[in-house]
Chains A and B, each alone.
Chain A
Amino acid sequence: MKRSCAAVVLVAAFAWFASAPAAAHAFLDHAVPAVGSTVHESPQDIRLRFTEQLEPAFSHVQVADASGKEIDKGDSHVDASNASVLAVSVPALPPGKYRVQWRVVSVDTHVTEGDFTFEIEP
């Protein structure tokens, strides 16, 4: 009987937590160009897809060249049709190594940040 009660309490607790509104830290799920990848043509923009929807006013991404100079077009924005996508446009980039740095705030106000590199080869 005690075991049954414990099982009921456990299941109820799990159901309660499972039914809680899902919002959490935003992790980078996928990027184009991919994290650590080598591409042969300059992309037109950098697109980052996160595991959570983002607060547009507090979510930014920038791209720097190998010397650390910012080379994106400064139009970092959350995609209007998909609030979990953050993008920034870049000019035609010459071959080289580039670093993408991002800092985002998910809709539940958790902050996450990160960076990665990609390379353009002729």
Chain B
Amino acid sequence: MAVSLKVRATLVALCLVAPAVAYGHGFAGKRFFPATLATDDPFVADELSLPTVSWQKFPASDEGPGGSETDFSIDVAKRITENFGIELGATYKHIRPDRGDAQNGFDNLGLGLKYKFYQNDVHEAIVSAGVDWDIGGTGSKRVGAESFGTITPAIFFGKGFGDLPDNAKFLRPLAITGLVGYGIPTRSGTRTISDEGDIDVERNPHTLEWGFAIEYSLPYLQSFVQDVGLKAPFNRMIPIIEFAMSTALDRGQSGTTGTVNPGIIWAGQDIQLAIEAVIPVNRRSGNSVGVLAQLHFFLDDLFPQTLGRPLIQ
């Protein structure tokens, strides 16, 4: 059964604020940066997120009923060279409206390329450039997957604060990663026909994709600043807060949607576990708190001689 135009519109709006997934971990000097969940970071890595699970309610509106969405994602990142990598992601969506049938299906596939062009180990700084391609038409319209693609070139950055002076040593475990990107839809508008035969044209704006993550690394505190006696599992925990935003720039649309995600990451030797709350920043972004959780594998640590190496040394 085809989902109604109004429900589709709601799902598309939800997709715009849904968190992206599968982001890298890495080192800059002695700083270990964990993989972030909702915002991309600058690292080129060999890793696998399996799975990332998110759940969030979406509100009823003039365009359709409310409901909830649960996403299951798999993402893999592979280094081609030491500083250049490719990323591929897929998401299976389960949409349960308050009225009507539940809808299931895959969202559009995501493909990304990233190149790390600057790293300063002493100052724990790193900068990369990349492009993400949301491949239009590869997903199911039943769950709101767009028929058009979006290409997003972006700059990614990371900075640890291990170079702060002694009188601020307890701030040294802080670090920030983030991105600024420009979303370019491959089609300026999308024409849809409602169940009643009405033609509706939705304009697809260019967007500013931006976000950052602030983290306080307890492993860094223990290993490089002061051993405060934390035991497992707390000695491998990294409290984090992420801000994932999208701002419409043109074609009659404006405003920012996004979420603020406070959470905790536990970074082990080979895997990482993370859970975050997903808090909409405004009513357009939702009206209830969701959950985002991830199991993440460091392929470079699990398979250092095979899958975890760059294809070209």
**B window 219-277: CB within 8 A of A:** 219, 222-227, 269-271
B187 at the interface (CB under 8 A from A): no
Asked if residues A114 and B223 are in contact (CB atoms below 8 Å), the reply is: yes
- Contact A35-B270, Cβ < 8 Å, known A10-B51, A108-B301, A110-B304: no
Interface presence of A72 (CB below 8 A): no
CA distance A14 to B304 in the complex (A): 18
CB of A116 within 8 A of CB of B51, answer no
Alpha-carbon distance A112/B30, docked complex (angstroms): 7
A23-B304, A25-B269 known; A35 vs B226 contact (CB < 8 Å): yes
> Which B residues are in CB contact (< 8 Å) with A113?
29-30
Q: Is the C-beta of B297 less than 8 angstroms from some C-beta in chain A?
A: yes
* Complex CA–CA separation, A20 to B305 (angstroms): 12
| Other-chain contact of B223, A14, A20, A28, A108 (Cβ < 8 Å) | A28
Per the 8 Å Cβ criterion, residues 84-114 of A in contact with B are: 108-110, 112-114
Determine if B269 and A35 form an interchain contact, defined as CB atoms under 8 angstroms apart: no
Nearest A-chain residue to B170, judged by Cβ: A36
| Chain B interface, >50% SS class | mixed
Shortest beta-carbon distance, B224 to chain A, in Å?
A: 5
Nearest CB of chain B from residue A46's CB, rounded to whole Å: 14
State in angstroms the CA–CA spacing of A33 and B305 once bound together: 35
CB distance from A37 to the nearest CB of B (A): 7
Q: Is the CB of B227 within 8 A of A31?
A: yes
Which residue of B169, B271, B301 contacts A110 across the interface (Cβ within 8 Å)?
B301
Q: Return chain B residues, CB-CB under 8 Å to A51.
A: 269
Within the assembled complex, what's the spacing in Å between the Cα atoms of A13 and B271? Answer: 13
Judge whether A34 is part of the interface by a CB distance below 8 angstroms.
yes
B301 touches A34 (CB 8 A): no
Task: Report if A64 contacts B (CB, 8 A).
Answer: no
Cβ proximity bits B1-20 to A, threshold 8 Å, 1 near / 0 not: 00000000000000000000
A23: which of B29, B32, B301 is its contact (CB, 8 Å)? Answer: B301
Closest-by-CB residue of B relative to A51 is: B269
Question: Is the CB of B303 closer than 8 A to any CB of chain A?
Answer: yes
Interface status of B131 (Cβ within 8 A of chain A): no
Which residues in A have some Cβ–Cβ distance to B below 8 Å? Answer: 6, 10, 13-14, 17, 20, 22-25, 27-28, 30-31, 34-37, 51-52, 108-110, 112-116
17 interchain pairs (CB within 8 A)? A14-B295, A17-B48, A17-B297, A20-B303, A22-B269, A23-B304, A27-B269, A28-B222, A34-B227, A35-B224, A35-B226, A36-B169, A51-B269, A109-B304, A110-B301, A110-B304, A114-B224
Other than the known A108-B305, A115-B30, A116-B225, what 13 A-B pairs have Cβ atoms closer than 8 Å?
A: A6-B72, A14-B50, A14-B295, A17-B48, A17-B302, A20-B302, A20-B303, A22-B270, A23-B301, A28-B222, A28-B224, A52-B269, A113-B30
